[in-house]
Amino acid sequence: MRRLLPEPAADVDPYEAYGDVPGLRLGMVMSADGSVTDAEGWTDGLGGAADFRVFRTLRALADGILVGAATARTGRLGPARLRADLRERRGGPPAPIVIVSRTLDLDWNLPLFTEAETPTVVVTPRPATGVPGGVPGGVRVVPAPDLGTAVRRLRDDLGLRHLLCEGGPGLATSLLREGLADELCLNLAPTLLGGAHHTRLLGELPAPLDVGLTALYEDEGVLFLRYSLK
């Protein structure tokens, strides 16, 4: 990876480049023509190996990884895992996946719940006692009536001080609306997908939100932009 801004530099270590971790970071990838999903409706095919390296780095630097319930329900999201070198640098196990769910309508048999090295956390306004069959014992449920309370309780009660949101667009938009996100890490893939696969990065915001570009990197044609949201 090479840094283009603020000062050009070659052979930049992503772990060091993104090491100044804010309270809540949005990590997203998008094609050059604005789609956040590939031809299969997922993000896997957009940024290639370079994007995946940064994806793994952001996870290794986070205390908790926020995802929306719709993303979890696809079954394609597994528990976080760490490559050996990132585990050593992190100094411990991977961060937990934190699912934000209004209804607790989740498949508790998914590997996300049954095979996680660090137990998955679920944030919800719904009482866990109302779930048919109950919530599995290994899953931590954090009650919260809104996202602001959820973020505060994740930090104060579970010690997850640095959060990474991987989407989807609905959750990311809600965090922006509530003013809870500190940084957007946007990876721009050198790919054109056309209108057939176009999915917007975000939903509707109440007003335009000005952002400040703090750093720009490049690796294998992928541009890595860091925007301050505060």
**pLDDT one-digit tens code per residue, 99-114:** 999 988 999 999 999 9
The percentage of residues in the chain with a pLDDT greater than 90, rounded to a whole number, is 71
Same domain? 150 vs 209: no
pLDDT value of residue 196: 62
Among the candidates 117, 143, 161, a domain finishes at: 161
**Confidence band of 25 (pLDDT split at 50, 70, 90):** very high
The percentage of residues in the chain with a pLDDT greater than 70, rounded to a whole number, is 92
Residue range 70-75: average pLDDT?
Answer: 87
Same domain? 69 vs 56: no
Q: Is the peptide bond before 168 cis (omega within 30 degrees of 0)?
A: yes
Same domain? 89 vs 107: yes
Q: Would residue 91 count as lying in a domain?
A: yes
Same domain? 54 vs 77: no
- What is the domain range of residue 202? 20-62+165-230
pLDDT value of residue 46: 72
C-alpha closest to that of 100 among 142, 133, 136, 137: 142
Same domain? 95 vs 127: yes
Same domain? 98 vs 26: no
How many domains are contained in the chain? 2
Q: Would residue 9 count as lying in a domain?
A: no
C-alpha closest to that of 184 among 16, 18, 71: 18
Same domain? 114 vs 185: no
C-alpha closest to that of 36 among 68, 4, 13: 68
Among the candidates 110, 137, 161, a domain finishes at: 161
Same domain? 128 vs 57: no
C-alpha closest to that of 81 among 96, 71, 69, 68: 96
Among the candidates 119, 138, 161, a domain finishes at: 161
Residue range 120-134: average pLDDT?
Answer: 80
Q: Residue 150 is part of a domain; what is its CATH number?
A: 3.40.430.10
Higher pLDDT, 134 or 18: 18
pTM of the model: 0.93
131 contacts 109 by C-beta, under 8 angstroms: no
